Amino acid sequence: MTWRTTLAARLPATRRARVLTAVAAVLLVLAAAVVARGSDGGAASPVRSSEQRIEVPEAPGSAARIALDTTVFWPQAGRPAPAVLLGHGFGGSKASVRSDAEELARRGYVVLTWSARGFGLSGGRIALDQPDYEVADARVLVDWLAARPEVRLDRPGDPRVGAAGVSYGGALALLLAAYDPRIDAVAPQWTWNDLAASLFPNASGGGPETGVFKKMWAGVFFSAGAGSIGGAPAPGVPEGGATASVCGRFTPEVCAIYDEVARTGRATLAAVDLMRRASPATVADRLKVPALMIQGKNDSLFPLGEADRTAQAVSRNGFPVEVAWTSGGHDGGRSQTDWVRERTAAWFDRWLMSDAGAQATEARRQGAAAGPVPAGPFLVTRFGGVDSGTRERVIRIADGPVYPGIDGTVRRELALEGGTQTVVNPPGGAPPSVSTLPGLGFLADLAELGDGLSAGALSVDMPGQSAFFTSQPLDKAVRITGGPTVRVRVSGADDMVLFAKLYDMGPSGSTVLPNRITAPVRVEGARDGREIEIRLPVIDREIDAGHRLRLVLTTTDLGFATPPAPSAFQVALASPVTLPSVPGVKLPPPSYPWWTWGLPAGAAVLAALLVATGRRKVKSRAPLAELRDVPLRIDGLTKRYKGGKLAVDDVSFQVDRGQVLGLLGPNGAGKTTTLRMLMGLIHPDEGVIRIFGHAVTPGAPVLSRLGSFVEGPGFLPHLSGRDNLDLYWQATGRPREDAHFEEALVIAGLGEALDRKVRTYSQGMRQRLAIAQAMLGLPDLLVLDEPTNGLDPPQIRAMRDVLIKYARDGRTVVVSSHLLAEVEQTCTHVVVMHRGGVVATGPVGDITGDGNTLAVGTPVPAKAVEVLEGRPGIASVVPEGEGVIVYLAGAEASEVVAELVGAGVPVDRVTAKRRLEDAFLTLIGEQS
Amino acid sequence: MKPAATSAAPTLAHGYRPRHTLPFRVEALRQLRRRRTLVMLGLLAFLPWLLVLAFTVGGEPEREGGASLVDVATSSALNLTAFALFVSTGFLLVVAVALFCGDTVAGEASWSSLRYLLAAPVPRGRLLRVKLAVALAYSATALVLLPAMALLAGTVAFGWGPLEVPSGGELSGSAALGRMAVVVAYGMMTQLVVAALAFWLSTVTDAPLGAVGGAVGMVVVSNIVDAVTALGSWRAFLPTHWQYAWIDALQFDIEWAGMVKGSAVSLSYSLVFLALAFRHFERKDIVS
C-alpha cells in the first residue's frame, strides 16, 4: 500500500491553524531576539571636531612662541561637559589617538588632543616630558579649556579635566597632574614611574647611576624622535644643518646626553638628572589625583613594576588608584583596545563626570579625608585557551578588590638547586644571550600557551655565560603574581653585570621565560664577594604542577649594554626564591551569550508544544461489559484514503467465540485496511472496533489477546527463524512459558531450517513462520490475512485443519481471503466485502446455499429451458452462457438430468450452483 | 492445544504489561547481529590500525610552520587518538550515528516487522523511546570505540606518553585521558543533532537509506553553508558549526565556550527533531 494520510487531512482546520500559529510565534520570538542581539554593534556615530593651533612659549620665560597642533572633539550634549587631555605616544601625533578621542567624546567628554612639541605639525623640539616644556605646554592647554564655554568649570579658570595617554602621553598626564592641581583624574597607560630607572634598571636596588643601559629600547626611541616621524617638518623647525641631521627634533640637551650615554653604556649624572625631571617618581608626593594605572604585561621597556611605584605613591598620598595589567605592552601582543577604553571611560565617569567623585577628590586635597586609601581594584588580564571558533586566545580579566603591590598577599619560598658557578663575560659582550627585543612581545603571548618550542626557541642563554639554579618539580600549581625575589652571592670581579631570568620549565625540559623579561643587575666593587637581593621581573603566570622553576643568571643580553671588558666571576644562591601570589585575584565565572541557555529553553518549549499538540484526540470509550465475551465487534468502521476515496465504508459485523470467520472479498475490497485498523496500526476515521468489549486504539493493551498475520510476514532477515520468534516473544514482555513455542513450531514445520537465517527462507517458509508467530501465546483471537498464499496444497490442507482445531478449543479465528473455496472449506461464518462495504454476512451454510440451484452445462440452452420450464418441482430456469441455471422447488438433480436426456438435450455437466459464488463472481466481474 | 479460558475473559493477555514490552536488551539484541551494525563497528575499530599502518608506511609527518594535529599524530597514543577523532568527526562518525539512528524505525518498516511489534502491542511511545535509547547507545558505543581502539593501536605503535598539543606544550597522560573523556562526551553532544534528525526521518520514511542519507545530507549542507563566512555570527546557529569545538579541550588551558555553545545549539535542534519524531509517529498510520 502506498497511500498515506497527511497532516492536513487529519487536523481540523482550526486546530491546524492554532498549531501553526504557536510554532510561528515561537520562531518569531527567537528570530527577533537574534536580530536584536545581532544589530548591537552598529556603525559608530560621527563626532564633531575642530582644529586649532594654540601658541605656547618656546621656552620658560621666552618671548618666542611655538604653535601646538590640536584637535578638539566635542560631545553631543549642549551643556558644559568635563574635558579630557589625551596625549599620544612617543613618535606619534594627535592623529594616533583620534579613535580613542572620538570614543570618549561620544561618552560626553570634550576631548583635546594635540601633537606634543617636536611631533607632528607642532613646533618646538622634543624635551622629553620636561616640566618646563611639555608639561608647561599642557598647562596652557588647560587654560585654553578653561576659557571654552563648552567645558564645565569647577571654579573660574579651573575646568573639570582629566588626563590620559599611552607611554609618553601617560607620563605627561601624571606629570601634569603633579604640576597642575586643576587635573581631576588621570588614566595613564604603559608608562614610566622613573624614566632613569627604566632605561638604566638595576634589580639589586643600586639605582640608575649603576644601572644597565637598555640600549636597544633607547635606540629605538632616539631614532623615532630623530627621524621625521609624524609627517612633514613643522613650521619653525630648521631643516638641514649639522645638528638636525643627528639630533632630529630633539633639544640639543637631550641629544647630547643620549650621544654620551649611547657611547659609554653608562648613565651620566646629567642624564639621570634629565630623566628624573621627566619622572613622576620625582614628584611622587604631589600625585594627588585619582589614578587608573594600566600597564602591559609584555613590556620590557616599562615593566609592571613602574606602574606599581606610581600606584603606591598615589595611594600613599591618600587618593584612589586602580591597577590593571593588560595583555599587551611596548613589546606588543594582543591589544585590549575596547576594554581599556571602557575602563578608562568608567574611571573618568566616576571621577570627572560625577560631581560626587570630583567633590571627593577636592575634599581629599583639602585634607578633609586624609590618610592612605587602599589601592584597588586590581585587574589582571589572563589568557584562556584558543577558541576554535575565533581561532584566537580567549582573554579573561581576573580581579580582586585590593591592589597588593608586587610582593603579593601570600609569599612562599621555593628552594633552587645549583652550587657556586663561574660565569664569564666575554670580551665585547658577544655573543650575547637573548631575552627579548623590542616588538617581539607576540612571542610572549605564544609562550603563555604552554612550553612550546616556538615560544622558547628565541630565549638564549649562552653556555659559559650562564649559571643555572633549578627547583624540584612543583607538587601543585602555583600562580606567581608579582615580582619574585632571591638573594645571590657574587664575587670575583669589580664590575659584575648579570641578567636574572626566572624560567617556567616543563616536564620535558622545555623552558619559557614569562613575558620574556629579564632583571638586569650591576654589582660594583665586590671582588671579595657581596650578597645582593634581586627583584625578578614582575609577572603573572601559573606554574603548573610537575613544572620546575629555573633561575638563570647570565652575563650578557642583546638588549642591554654590558661591560666590554672580559671578566669571570662566581655566583651562588644565598636564599630560596620567594614567590608572591595574590589568591584574592580570581577569574570571574565564565559568561556565555544569552542564547546558550535561551536556545535550548526555547527549543524545549517548542518541543513540548509539538508533542502536546500532536496527540491525536481519541475518544475514550469505556469497555462494554456485555461484549466482554465477544471476541470482535465492529461498528460503523470508516476509513478514507488520502484524496477522499473510501477504503472502508461503514463496516459492521460481529465475531463470536468459537467461530472461524472468513473475510471474503476481491483484492482492494478493504479487507486488509480493516484488519490494520483491527491491529491498531491505522486510525479509523469513524466507527469503533471492540475486542472483548475494549475499543481498539493504537497499542491498546487488549491487543495482547490478538494474534495477527496481516499482509505478509515481517521478520528480521539477519536472524534465524527461531531467534525471530524468540525475540518477538520477548518483545511482548510476557512470560516465556506462556508462549507455547512447541505448538507454534509444529505449525511452522520448518525442521532444521528453523536455525537458518530468515533471509534464506522461501516465501512459503516465511509465511508459515509468520502464522506460527501469530499463534505464539495461543491468542484468544487470531487474525490471518490470506494465510494460504504461497503454500502448496498439502500445506494448505494442514493449515485448514490447524485453524479449525484452533477454534474448536474455544478460541476465535478471522481469516481473510479472496478465494471462495478456502473460506468455504475452513470457515463457519463469512463476511463478504466489496469496495469497502459489507455485501453479505452470515453462517457459511446460509450463504453457500442449500443445494437448490443447479448449473447445467449444455450446448443448447434454449432447448433446455423449453424442456424444463413449468415442470413440477422446478421453480425457474434461466439460460446462462453455455448452459442454464435451474432453481429447484423439490425436484432432485437426477430427475432434472433424466428429464433433459429423455428430451434429447445433451448434458455436459451438472454442478451445484451456490449463491455465494454467484454473488462473489458477480463482484469480481464488476471489478474487471 | 489447550482450551482457552472461557468466561470472564481478562482485559489483557496473561503476563502482558505495557511497560515491560520491548525491553532495551531485546532491542539491542535485535539490532546487534545486523550486518551494517557489525560492519560499522568493525570499521571504527579498524580505522586506527589503518592510520597506524599509513603512518608507518608514510613515515613521520613533516612539521611545516604551525603544527597541527596530523603533525603530532605519531607522538603518542593520545595524539593518534586525537588525530583519529579529528579525521572522523566530520563524516565517518556522522555516518555511523546516522546509520544507527536512521535505520532503526525505517528498517523495521521495510522488513514489515514494525507492524507486528506495534500489534504485540508495544505502545508507540515506548517503541520509540526504546529504539531511540538503543540507537543512541550504539552511537555512543561507536564514539567510544574509535578513540578506545586508537588508544590501543597508538600504544602498540607509538607508545604511551603525554599528549603533545599542536599549539605548544604537552598534557600528561592522565590529564589527557580526562580531556579525551571530555572530547568524547562533547562528540556525543554534537552528534546528537545528527542522531535526532536521522531518528525523525526514520519515523517519516520507510526507506532506511533515506533517513540515513537525509541526516548525512544535512551535515553536508550545513558545512557548506558554514563555509560562507559572509554569514558572520549567524553561522553559530548552524548545527555543525561547533562540530570541532572539542579541539578546545586538547590544549593547555581548556576552553569551554565553544563546547558550551555547540552543546546548546545541538541540544536545541535535537529537542525539536525528537519532538517531531514522537509527534509524527504517534499520529502516523502504519502502512508498511
Query: A200-233, pLDDT tens digit by residue?
Result: 999 998 889 999 999 988 888 888 777 644 344 4
- Edge to edge, what strands does the sheet with A883-888 contain? A874-879, A883-888, A853-857, A909-912
**A638 and A679 fall within a common domain:** yes
**A859 and A773 fall within a common domain:** no
The larger pLDDT score, comparing residue A26 to residue A345, is at A345
B280 — contact with chain A (CB < 8 Å)? yes
Predicted pLDDT of residue A76:
87
| B39: closest CA of chain A, how far (Å) | 13
What is each CA distance from A363 to A53, A184, A293, A366, in whole angstroms? 35, 12, 22, 5
Q: With beta carbons under 8 A apart, name residues in chain B contacting A731.
A: 21-23, 26-27, 30, 117, 120, 122
**What is the predicted ipTM?**
0.91
**A332 and A453 fall within a common domain:** no
Predicted pLDDT of residue A540:
93
Question: Which range has the top average pLDDT, A51-65, A812-826, A860-874?
Answer: A51-65
Query: Chain A neighbours among B 205-234 (CB < 8 Å)?
Result: 233-234
C-alpha A155/C-alpha A181 separation (Å) is 12
Specify which residues B266 forms β-bridges with.
none
**pLDDT tens digit string along B220-230?**
999 999 988 88
- A73 occurs within a structural domain: yes
Q: Which residue of B has its CA nearest to A744?
A: B1
Q: Which of A399, A428, A461 is the last residue of a domain?
A: A399
- A610 occurs within a structural domain: no
Q: Which residue of B has its CA nearest to A510?
A: B169
CB-side neighbour CA atoms (13 Å) of B184: 21
- B1 occurs within a structural domain: no
- A505 occurs within a structural domain: yes
Is a pLDDT exceeding 50 seen at residue A284?
yes
Cβ-nearest to A731 among B33, B122, B256: B122
Q: Which residue of A has its CA nearest to B288?
A: A1
| Interface-testing mutation among A2, A730, A740, A806, with chain B (most B C-beta atoms within 10 A) | A730
Strand A853-857 and strand A883-888: pairing? antiparallel
Q: What is the 3-state secondary structure (H, E, C) of chain B?
A: CCCCCCCCCCCCCCCCCHHHCCCHHHHHHHHHCCHHHHHHHHHHHHHHHHHHHHHHHHCCCCCCCCCCCCCCCCCCHHHHHHHHHHHHHCCHHHHHHHHHHHHHHHHHHHHCHHHHHHHCCCCHHHHHHHHHHHHHHHHHHHHHHHHHHHHHHHHHHHCCCCEECCCCCEECHHHHHHHHHHHHHHHHHHHHHHHHHHHHHHHHCCCHHHHHHHHHHHHHHHHHHHCCHHHHHHHHHCCCCCCCHHHHHCCCCCCCHHHHHHHHHHHHHHHHHHHHHHHHHHHCCCCC
Rg (CA), chain B: 22
**pLDDT tens digit string along A404-432?**
999 999 999 999 999 999 999 998 888 88
Task: Give backbone dihedrals phi and psi of A843, rounded to 5 degrees, phi first.
Answer: -65, 150
Cell of A648: 472502508
A612 — contact with chain B (CB < 8 Å)? no
Cell of A828: 463457519
Is there a contact between B244 and A451 if contact means CB atoms under 8 Å apart?
no
C-alpha A662/C-alpha A787 separation (Å) is 11
- B146 occurs within a structural domain: yes
Q: Which of A821, A847, A873 is the last residue of a domain?
A: A847
- Contact (CB, 8 A) for B172 and A507: yes
Specify which residues A213 forms β-bridges with.
none
User: A789: which residues sit within 8 A by CB, 6+ positions away?
Assistant: A763, A767
DSSP letter for each residue of A26-94: HHHHHHHHHHHHHTSS-PPPP-EEEEEEEEEESSTT-S-EEEEEEEEEE-S-SS-B-EEEEE--TT--G
Neighbour count for residue A849 (Cβ, 10 Å): 15
Is there a contact between B286 and A682 if contact means CB atoms under 8 Å apart?
yes
| A299: closest CA of chain B, how far (Å) | 23
> What letter does residue A417 receive in the DSSP assignment?
B
Strand A632-640 and strand A686-691: pairing? antiparallel
- B9 occurs within a structural domain: no
pLDDT band at A368 (very low <50, low <70, confident <90, very high): low
C-alpha B71/C-alpha A844 separation (Å) is 82
Collapse the DSSP code of A341 into the 3-class scheme (helix H, G, I; strand E, B; otherwise coil) and give the result. Answer: helix
Question: Which range has the top average pLDDT, A323-332, A840-849, B102-111?
Answer: B102-111
Collapse the DSSP code of A783 into the 3-class scheme (helix H, G, I; strand E, B; otherwise coil) and give the result. Answer: strand
- A708 occurs within a structural domain: yes
| B269: closest CA of chain A, how far (Å) | 7
Predicted pLDDT of residue A871:
82
Indicate which CATH number applies to the domain containing A132.
3.40.50.1820
Is a pLDDT exceeding 70 seen at residue A44?
no
Amino acid symbol at A180: D
Least confident range from A231-235, A328-332, A367-371: namely A231-235
Neighbour count for residue A674 (Cβ, 10 Å): 30
Mind listing the pLDDT tens digit of every residue in chain B (288 residues)? 444 444 445 678 888 998 999 999 999 999 998 888 999 999 999 999 999 999 988 876 665 545 677 778 888 899 999 999 999 998 999 999 999 999 999 999 999 999 999 998 999 999 999 999 999 999 999 999 999 999 999 999 998 988 888 766 778 888 899 999 999 999 999 999 999 999 999 999 999 999 999 999 999 999 999 988 888 888 899 999 999 999 888 887 788 888 999 999 999 999 999 999 999 999 888 887
Cβ-nearest to B116 among A452, A714, A778: A714
Is a pLDDT exceeding 50 seen at residue A928?
no
Query: Taking residues A831-843, what's their average pLDDT?
Result: 86
Q: Which of A399, A419, A438 is the last residue of a domain?
A: A399
Is there a contact between B4 and A810 if contact means CB atoms under 8 Å apart?
yes
Is there a contact between B11 and A596 if contact means CB atoms under 8 Å apart?
no
Query: Taking residues A381-386, what's their average pLDDT?
Result: 81
Least confident range from A125-129, A409-413, A606-610, A666-670: namely A666-670
Q: With beta carbons under 8 A apart, name residues in chain A contacting B35.
A: 718
Number of domains in chain A: 4
pLDDT band at A919 (very low <50, low <70, confident <90, very high): low
Q: The domain containing residue B164 runs over which residues?
A: 22-56+69-283
- B10 occurs within a structural domain: no
Is a pLDDT exceeding 70 seen at residue A243?
no
**A841 and A855 fall within a common domain:** no
> What letter does residue A565 receive in the DSSP assignment?
S
**A292 and A425 fall within a common domain:** no
Indicate which CATH number applies to the domain containing A457.
2.60.120.260
Q: With beta carbons under 8 A apart, name residues in chain A contacting B237.
A: 34, 599
- Contact (CB, 8 A) for A649 and A637: no
Indicate which CATH number applies to the domain containing A893.
3.30.70
Q: With beta carbons under 8 A apart, name residues in chain B contacting A722.
A: none
- A35 occurs within a structural domain: no
**A68 and A153 fall within a common domain:** yes
Q: With beta carbons under 8 A apart, name residues in chain A contacting B276.
A: 610
**A327 and A211 fall within a common domain:** yes
Q: Which residue of B has its CA nearest to A680?
A: B119
- A597 occurs within a structural domain: no
- B277 occurs within a structural domain: yes
Q: With beta carbons under 8 A apart, name residues in chain A contacting B259.
A: none
**pLDDT tens digit string along A10-30?**
444 455 555 555 556 555 555
**A571 and A636 fall within a common domain:** no
> Is the dihedral angle over the CA atoms B120, B125, B131, B137 positive or is it negative?
negative
**A266 and A240 fall within a common domain:** yes
Percent of chain A at pLDDT exceeding 70: 88
The pTM for the full model equals 0.76
- B14 occurs within a structural domain: no
Q: The domain containing residue A103 runs over which residues?
A: 48-399
C-alpha A80/C-alpha A245 separation (Å) is 46
Is there a contact between A4 and B285 if contact means CB atoms under 8 Å apart?
yes
Q: Which residue of A has its CA nearest to B257?
A: A592
Predicted pLDDT of residue B1:
44
Number of domains in chain B: 1
Predicted pLDDT of residue A876:
81
Predicted pLDDT of residue A440:
57
| Interface-testing mutation among B29, B113, B256, with chain A (most A C-beta atoms within 10 A) | B113
C-alpha B87/C-alpha B187 separation (Å) is 13
**A266 and A141 fall within a common domain:** yes
From the list B26, B135, B15, the residue with the least C-alpha distance to A727 is B26
C-alpha B267/C-alpha A603 separation (Å) is 8
- A38 occurs within a structural domain: no
Strand A812-817 and strand A781-785: pairing? parallel
Predicted pLDDT of residue A235:
45
- A76 occurs within a structural domain: yes
**A569 and A656 fall within a common domain:** no
- B6 occurs within a structural domain: no
Is there a contact between B12 and A704 if contact means CB atoms under 8 Å apart?
yes
Query: Chain A neighbours among B 166-205 (CB < 8 Å)?
Result: 167-170, 172
**A524 and A575 fall within a common domain:** yes
Query: Taking residues A740-748, what's their average pLDDT?
Result: 87
| B143: closest CA of chain A, how far (Å) | 21
Dihedral over alpha carbons A792, A793, A796, A798 (to 10 degrees): -110
